[in-house]
Amino acid sequence: MTEAVINSQRYSLTDIGINLTDSAFDSDRQAVIQNAAAAGVTRMLVTGTNAAESQQAISLCQQYPHQLFCTVGVHPHYSKEFTPAMRNTLAALLKCPEVCAVGETGLDFNRNFSTPEQQIWAFEQQLELASDSQLPLFLHERDAHTQQIEMLRSVKGEFNGGVAHCFTGTREELYNYLDLDLYIGITGWICDERRGTELFKLLKEIPANRLLLETDAPYLLPRTLRPKPKSRRNLPRYLPHILEQAALARNDDPQVLARQTEENCQRLFRFNQRQG
């Protein structure tokens, strides 16, 4: 895909996962948002990864009403910081109209920046917050699928849906999430010939009404972008490329898939019911 096509605004899309409070955007955050809108990415869901960044995400959303929304939660890496006081802070933040989901939450046993026990406890607390608020879950998982699925199954019916954010798993893991009526978030991972080939093939098995698109920017720059960007920083304006690669994998019309994914994220996150 050429730069001209990326910026042609052929689609109307929502990036359901962008780390817009990340320092990688400190120098040009406003331009990043404007360029995304020019490319047809008219709405973005800013990821909250701890209490402080969740508050920052809300403040950012308040500057761009109806364009930016966010999640509130504690990423498993920060689980060791989770306290009863933090839970109270998160519960208050979840009442803000800009907030559409609980997370980024889940388990990550790959690097264990927090111990598995700390992660499990923090995840339990956030599952309860999702039940109390009736907001969907924004889920992270790495090398902890069995434990995470067991915990989600134990509270099935108590929370109001969710998405397996940045899904990179196996066919079995995909169906475990689908069996819980969860949505599947797809990123530029499918554009990586080194790691994303199997997921690219698996895309056709994701029901059309369960597929969501995200960049996870500034991470996971799609490797198939042409011309190749000079910077390795991923941007929300590249979401149309991910859409087109997903459509290619599924043998779908990109316009039809774009409309479907918009219906999906509206159904899950209820954007039109937020911010008045």
DSSP letters spanning 31-98: HHHHHHHHTTEEEEEEPP-SHHHHHHHHHHHHHSTTTEEEEE---GGGGGG--HHHHHHHHHHTTSTT
Residue % of the chain over a pLDDT of 90 = 95
Reading the block at residue 103, the tokens are: 């997370």
Give the side-chain half-sphere CA count within 13 A for 151. Answer: 21
What is residue 9's predicted lDDT score, i.e. its pLDDT? Answer: 59
pLDDT at 104 over 70: yes
Task: Tell me the pLDDT band of 78, cut-offs 50, 70 and 90.
Answer: very high
Task: Tell me the pLDDT band of 276, cut-offs 50, 70 and 90.
Answer: low
The overall average pLDDT reported for the chain is 95
* Model confidence, pTM: 0.95
Per DSSP, the three-state class of 261 is helix
Beta strand pairing call for 211-213 and 183-186: parallel
Residue 162: its H or E element: strand 162-164
The amino acid that residue 183 corresponds to is Y
Which one, of 62, 64, 63, 72, lies nearest residue 37 by Cα? 64
Alpha carbon distance 39, 238 (integer Å):
8
What mean pLDDT do residues 178-194 have?
97
- CA 2 centroid distance within chain: 25
Task: Tell me the pLDDT band of 1, cut-offs 50, 70 and 90.
Answer: very low
**What is the assigned CATH class of domain 3-273?**
alpha beta
Task: Tell me the pLDDT band of 165, cut-offs 50, 70 and 90.
Answer: very high
* Other CB atoms within 10 A of residue 47 CB: 30
What is residue 3's predicted lDDT score, i.e. its pLDDT? Answer: 38
* Other CB atoms within 10 A of residue 110 CB: 11
